[in-house]
Amino acid sequence: MRRFGVLLLTLLGLATAVAAPAAADEPVIAARPPMGISWSRGWNQCPRIDDAKVRAAVDMLVGSGLKDAGYTYVNIAGCWAAKTRAADGRLQPDTAKYPDLPGLIAYVHAHGLRFGLHSGTGALVCGSAMPGSRDHEELDAQTFADWGVDYLEYDTCGGENGVAASVRKMSDALKATGRPILLAMNDTMANNYRQWEWAPGAGAHTWQLTSDLPEPFPIVMTKIDEQVPLAGHTGPGGWSDPGYLNFSFLDLPVRRAEFSLWALLNAPLMPNESFPLDTIANRDVIAVDQDWSGTPGRKVRDLSDAEIWAKPMSDGSVAVLLLNRGSVARTIPFDLAESGIAAASAYRVRNLWTGAELTSTGTLRASVPALSGVFLRAWPGQPSPAEPLVTLGVELPEGFLAGQPVSGTVTLTNDGDTPITDARYTITVPSGWQLDGPAQVDVPRVSPGSTVTQEITLRPVAAPAAKVPVAVEGSYTSESGPRTAAGSAEMPLVTAPGSGTTYLSTRPWLYSENGLGPVERGTVANGRAMSVGGVAFPPNSGIGVHAPSVIRLYLGGACKSFTTQFGVDDAAGPQATTAFRVLGDGRELFATGVVQRGAKPQKVTIPVTGVQQLAIAVDDGGDGSAGEYADWIAPYVSC
């Protein structure tokens, strides 16, 4: 536990806002992350947006309660203007879509909302649908102010060179009008990536960190992985924007997991095109996004496809997301002590999506389905009534072999401070498998802070599928009355490497754990090429990690040797020290002393005859793990 506590404290210490504070007599623009609805990201939406649709959106915001929840901006896309400027050089609306733009803006304001437009640093905006503001910054800024515009999204298409100066020019022009207009940078050009380094100093109030995100959650998460080290570049007056929330075709659990992440990151909440009330209207989650305690949320643990994110709140509570980004259901526990929350004999816990009020004595735990998350908020102190946090879970091996029986456990855990009684649950296994023993289990009592475990064995009766799911569902009685619980887990079929040479970066892993961000195949430190001691390696050269890290692989006794180069990556901090270890079936086969940054890569070949599971680990060298990136270069087994 110590190593993760060190990591969290180190990360939180880095989280300092970079936006310059306003003068005492000036209002802070974007004092909190802006919220609204936006068609301004994605020029391909232009043909479908017009005056009538914007007015309908205004009515929806007011009538649905989203306005009262904080969604106050209405932003339209980068094709609102005519393709040519007026004779006096001013931008003019496309009258076919917006016959009375000032009247539309007045309609927005009359409903207590704010209005946003789009422009850019180039002669044309992204998509070339209308003029940009190059060489017209002062004129355009005054035009926007005269119309009553409150928000300007500003892209960099056609204006990549000197983009910071171009943005500063517009920022100064907006300030000169005397109207508070939020300047939102949309800079996703490859040449200008790393917006966090220049956008705050250029006067931007938000800056989008990625190009328009696709919808599949695994791809969204790869973009979030790149942003893990950037959370310190955010705060009142200047917010990092992970990318727009595109909910059009996402299932409810995925939608809620993504929205939870945005809230933890204090990201602007600007859903694009689709506005599902079952997600974006949740005021408990919005409260996390709008609360600034001095630091945004951080990934605390990375346990294979399970992740734990935590965000300290200004009232002393902590928001925790138990996130399962994998295709296998799993039970995820978290010790609240690792979040830095004040010590207490009991904690009030709220499930931010179900609204359930619970009690825990110090552990948050949930059975989390694939591609989803459980979002909790914990306060020191006893809630009333004291409903205990109870989890029904399944623990299975990291993989199974064709034709072999599988052992696992079903766990009923009471993390609260009052007992539960009269529990009964049913175990369900898939076709092709037989459960030894009873499928229905009775548990008379589970004391506070206790787990009752039922051992299970599954025997194959048919050819196995690629994954084996096991589900449990049941009921119990707490002091508040009857309750239900459910959980599930899955395990994949595993096979040994084939004969010859097999590179481990191409193999599925039984398990991976990493100190910061995910374990990376072929890169390190969020997509960088590997380099050790000044020796550069081509792309896809191995496996990049951050200490402390461990990766487990199945060999099945089929291999003779394991060969790799290793070392501290040049992306690590100047004082980085690590130690490398290789284990076979839990027995240490190889270990280094402390390896420092700058040392040349070393190569080793280790006998692994008869080894069923191979583990490769990187420890932090005993001095903390901040910035300790390390590489396994071209790791392979000979079988």
Model confidence at 163, in pLDDT bands (50, 70, 90)? confident
Per-residue confidence (pLDDT) for residue 557, from 0 to 100: 94
The rounded distance, in Å, linking the Cα atoms of 268 and 282 is 15
Ranked by mean pLDDT, which of 196-205, 214-223, 352-361, 616-625 comes out on top?
352-361
H or E segment and range at residue 551: strand 549-554
The rounded distance, in Å, linking the Cα atoms of 154 and 206 is 10
Q: What DSSP letter does each residue of 51-111 carry, written as one string?
A: HHHHHHHHHHHHHHSHHHHT--EEE--TT-B-SS--TTS---B-TTT-TTHHHHHHHHHHT
Q: Determine the average pLDDT of the residues in 617-626.
A: 78
Model confidence at 13, in pLDDT bands (50, 70, 90)? very low
Coil, strand or helix at 208: strand
Q: Determine the average pLDDT of the residues in 348-371.
A: 94
Per-residue confidence (pLDDT) for residue 101, from 0 to 100: 96
- Only one residue has tokens 């994949």, namely 492
Coil, strand or helix at 254: helix
- Please state, rounded to an integer, the average pLDDT across all residues of the chain: 88
Per-residue confidence (pLDDT) for residue 189, from 0 to 100: 59
Q: Determine the average pLDDT of the residues in 362-382.
A: 93
H or E segment and range at residue 286: helix 283-290
Strands (E), 555-594: 561-568, 577-584, 587-591
Does residue 548 have a cis bond before it (omega within 30 degrees)? yes
Q: What is the pLDDT of residues 270-316, one digit of tens each?
A: 887 667 889 999 999 999 999 999 988 988 888 878 899 999 999 99
Is the pLDDT confidence value at 428 over 70?
yes
Structural contact between residues 450 and 413, judged by C-beta atoms closer than 8 angstroms? yes
Model confidence at 214, in pLDDT bands (50, 70, 90)? low
Q: Determine the average pLDDT of the residues in 454-480.
A: 92
Burial class (CB in 10 A: 0-12, 13-18, 19+), 423: buried
Per-residue confidence (pLDDT) for residue 229, from 0 to 100: 57
DSSP state of 272: B
389: nearest Cα among 343, 336, 348? 348
Query: Taking CA 14 as the corner, what is the angle to CA 8 and CA 17, rounded to the nearest 5 degrees?
Result: 130
Model confidence at 502, in pLDDT bands (50, 70, 90)? very high
Structural contact between residues 250 and 258, judged by C-beta atoms closer than 8 angstroms? yes
394: nearest Cα among 308, 513, 491, 535? 491
Q: What is the pLDDT of residues 458-467, one digit of tens each?
A: 999 988 788 8
Query: Taking CA 588 as the corner, what is the angle to CA 584 and CA 594, rounded to the nearest 5 degrees?
Result: 130
585: nearest Cα among 566, 562, 565, 619? 562
Active site residue 212: yes
Is the pLDDT confidence value at 235 over 60?
yes
Per-residue confidence (pLDDT) for residue 456, from 0 to 100: 97
Per-residue confidence (pLDDT) for residue 329, from 0 to 100: 83
- The fraction of the chain above a pLDDT of 90, given in percent, is 66
Structural contact between residues 185 and 167, judged by C-beta atoms closer than 8 angstroms? yes
Per-residue confidence (pLDDT) for residue 22, from 0 to 100: 45
Euclidean distance between the first and the last CA atom of the chain, given in angstroms as a whole number: 36
Model confidence at 108, in pLDDT bands (50, 70, 90)? very high
Q: Determine the average pLDDT of the residues in 593-615.
A: 95
Structural contact between residues 300 and 287, judged by C-beta atoms closer than 8 angstroms? no
Does the CA dihedral 28-34-39-44 come out positive or negative?
positive
Is the pLDDT confidence value at 14 over 50?
no
Active site residue 155: yes
- The fraction of the chain above a pLDDT of 70, given in percent, is 90
CA 42 to chain centre: 22
Neighbouring C-alpha atoms within 13 Å toward the C-beta of 622: 3
Per-residue confidence (pLDDT) for residue 41, from 0 to 100: 55
Q: What's the residue count for the chain? A: 639
User: For the chain, how big is the Rg over CA atoms in Å?
Assistant: 27
Q: What is the pLDDT of residues 375-413, one digit of tens each?
A: 999 999 977 667 899 999 999 998 899 889 999 999 999
Is the pLDDT confidence value at 139 over 70?
yes
**Candidate from 115-119, 213-217, 269-273 with smallest mean pLDDT:** 213-217
Per-residue confidence (pLDDT) for residue 137, from 0 to 100: 97
Amino acid code (one letter) for 60: M
Q: Catalytic one among 94, 172, 212, 585?
A: 212
CA dihedral 228, 234, 235, 236 (to 10 degrees): -140
Q: Determine the average pLDDT of the residues in 123-136.
A: 90
Model confidence at 359, in pLDDT bands (50, 70, 90)? very high
Q: Which two tokens stand for residue 25?
A: 């007599």
**Ramachandran sector of residue 456 (left: φ over 0; alpha: ψ -120 to 50; beta: rest):** beta
Q: Determine the average pLDDT of the residues in 324-350.
A: 91
Q: Catalytic one among 51, 155, 225, 302?
A: 155
CB count, 10 Å around CB of 424? 12
**Candidate from 191-195, 327-331, 471-475, 507-511 with smallest mean pLDDT:** 191-195
Is the pLDDT confidence value at 327 over 90?
no
Q: Which residues contact 234 (CB under 8 A, 6 or more apart)?
A: 17, 18, 240, 265, 266, 296
Per-residue confidence (pLDDT) for residue 486, from 0 to 100: 94
